[in-house]
């Protein structure tokens, strides 16, 4: 049984942004609840290389910002590790600096498409050279002007790169998306003093003379909490309270879909600061199939592999569609989930923009899962291992350190 109370680590998206915005703000930004996963440590490392004094004490961080133009030219290549958020968002900031820098990352980052940010940033006047649309990126700071950009994808990373460049532009910048992506950047930039206005799918940022330091209390990451929601739902007799979880409406699609599937989930003790936060109470549930698609996809894009896994034990056939973004994450998550669920005896079909999963009564186990070094794939199958008929082994457990270094310890602690 999965029993007790758990506070999962801080939100990855918010942790990244708190360091980035604190670095280009005036004054000292204090961050509590910082996620010390490898991705966020990559962000700290990059800004240190550009002259920012950053102190890390467990999950507390002090960022001694130097203002919008306070970064200095790094004397080495800036390594983003496995972090697409770091690579894309920092590109927007670097596009306006008075120096040339090179951004790169691991083999996964060097396969992820960068033209989606290079195109709009170049329209603003940025000077970016790439390896045929992929990292490494050589960015020479330029004078930028505002644009009105209709993004072909609903992507917080694309939107954020443009908005960060827009801080430095000579005129307002507007980004319009086909559906609203997560809005952590907009909420936090306002907190740091930026002038933004938003409609349902558009954001306009005005040129900024300065950002000002702030204190950020990072809520627990709903994407990390989702794995424990799933564990409590799947294991008979379970009841779990997940504490202080961020339930931003642009991120809470996982809760809506799980409720649609019949999950016993209750939101309690909700509070609001600059981000809404609540405790989430979850208990064992019998699930039924659903259809996941449309505008809800950007609000649960990182949780779709987990939802596919849950669908494999739900009554009926679940359809996931409109999820092309899954193909350009840390791995092609559509293909990987189809291949790996099939090893467990699941009837799953890969489609052009998603998958169809026929629910089964049990999972066979006694297999080794190819994680493709993808943290969310590894954690998804670790959860399924709790209820499979035989052991589900992972070819790389260590990749969970990207977002949740204590994942296996917490899973063992909750599994009574």
DSSP codes, 242-257:
EEEEE--TTTTHHHHH
Q: How far apart are CA 194 and CA 188, in angstroms?
A: 9
Residue 29 token pair:
């930004």
Instruction: Please check the confidence at residue 273 and state whether its pLDDT lies above 90.
Output: no
Mean pLDDT of all residues in 352-370: 95
Of the candidates 375, 404, 262, 407, the residue with the CA atom closest to the CA atom of residue 415: 407
Higher-pLDDT residue of 274, 125:
125
For all residues of the chain together, what is the average pLDDT?
96
Cβ-proximal residues to 132 (8 Å cutoff; 6+ apart), any chain: none
Instruction: Please check the confidence at residue 328 and state whether its pLDDT lies above 90.
Output: no
Give residue 232's pLDDT: 98
340 pLDDT band, cuts 50/70/90, is: very high
Instruction: Please check the confidence at residue 131 and state whether its pLDDT lies above 90.
Output: yes
Give residue 326's pLDDT: 85
Instruction: Please check the confidence at residue 416 and state whether its pLDDT lies above 80.
Output: no
Q: How far apart are CA 353 and CA 334, in angstroms?
A: 8
Is this structure's pTM higher than 0.85?
Answer: yes
Annotated binding site for phosphoenolpyruvate: 12, 84, 112, 157, 333, 376
Other beta carbons less than 10 A from residue 256's beta carbon: 15
Give residue 66's pLDDT: 98
Give residue 118's pLDDT: 98
Mean pLDDT of all residues in 171-200: 96
Cβ-contact 157, 88 below 8 angstroms: yes
Cβ-contact 6, 414 below 8 angstroms: yes
Predicted confidence (pLDDT) per residue in 61-101, tens digit: 999 999 999 999 999 999 999 999 999 999 999 999 999 99
List, in order of start, the domains of the chain with CATH numbers: 11-217 (3.65.10.10), 222-414 (3.65.10.10)
Instruction: Please check the confidence at residue 341 and state whether its pLDDT lies above 80.
Output: yes
331 pLDDT band, cuts 50/70/90, is: confident
Q: Which residues are catalytic?
A: 302
Q: How far apart are CA 183 and CA 198, in angstroms?
A: 10
Residue 188 token pair:
């936090």
Annotated binding site: 12-13, 17, 84, 112, 155, 157, 302, 329, 333, 376
Mean pLDDT of all residues in 207-217: 97
Give residue 330's pLDDT: 79
Give residue 274's pLDDT: 85
Predicted confidence (pLDDT) per residue in 42-59, tens digit: 999 999 999 999 999 999
Give residue 393's pLDDT: 97
């Amino acid at each position: 049984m999965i029993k007790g109370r758990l506070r999962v680590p801080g939100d990855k998206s918010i942790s990244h942004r708190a360091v980035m915005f604190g670095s280009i703000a005036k004054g000292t930004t204090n961050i509590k609840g910082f996620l010390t996963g490898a991705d966020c440590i990559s962000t700290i490392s990059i800004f240190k290389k550009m002259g920012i004094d950053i102190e890390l004490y467990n999950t507390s961080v002090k960022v001694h910002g130097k203002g919008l133009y306070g970064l200095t030219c790094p004397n080495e290549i800036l390594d983003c590790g496995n972090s697409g958020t770091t690579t894309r968002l920092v590109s927007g900031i670097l596009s306006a600096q008075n120096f040339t820098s090179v951004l790169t990352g691991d083999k996964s980052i060097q396969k992820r498409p960068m033209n989606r940010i290079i195109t709009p940033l170049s329209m603003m006047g940025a000077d970016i050279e790439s390896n045929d649309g992929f990292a490494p990126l050589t960015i020479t700071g330029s004078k930028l002007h505002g644009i009105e950009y209709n993004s072909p994808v609903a992507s917080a990373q694309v939107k954020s790169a443009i908005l960060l460049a827009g801080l430095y532009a000579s005129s307002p910048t507007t980004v319009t998306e086909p559906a609203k992506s997560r809005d952590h950047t907009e909420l936090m930039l306002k907190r740091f003093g930026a002038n933004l206005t938003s409609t349902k799918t558009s954001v306009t940022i005005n040129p900024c003379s300065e950002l000002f330091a702030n204190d950020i209390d990072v809520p627990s990451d709903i994407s990390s909490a989702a794995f424990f929601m799933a564990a409590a739902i799947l294991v008979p007799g379970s009841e779990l309270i997940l504490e202080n979880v961020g339930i931003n409406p642009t991120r809470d699609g996982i809760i809506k879909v799980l409720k649609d599937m019949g999950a016993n989930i209750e939101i309690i003790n909700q509070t609001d600061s600059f981000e809404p936060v609540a405790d989430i109470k979850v208990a064992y549930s019998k699930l039924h199939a659903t259809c996941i698609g449309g505008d809800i996809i950007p609000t649960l894009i990182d949780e779709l592999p987990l939802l596919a896994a849950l669908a494999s034990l739900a009554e009926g056939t679940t359809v996931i569609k409109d999820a092309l973004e899954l193909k350009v994450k840390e791995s092609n998550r559509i293909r990987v989930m189809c291949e790996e669920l099939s090893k467990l005896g699941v009837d799953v079909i890969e489609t052009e923009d998603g998958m169809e999963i026929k629910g089964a009564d049990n999972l066979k186990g006694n297999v080794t899962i190819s994680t493709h070094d993808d943290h969310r794939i590894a954690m998804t199958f670790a959860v399924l291992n709790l209820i499979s008929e035989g052991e589900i082994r992972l070819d790389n457990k260590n990749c969970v350190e990207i977002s949740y270094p204590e994942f296996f310890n917490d899973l063992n602690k909750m599994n009574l």
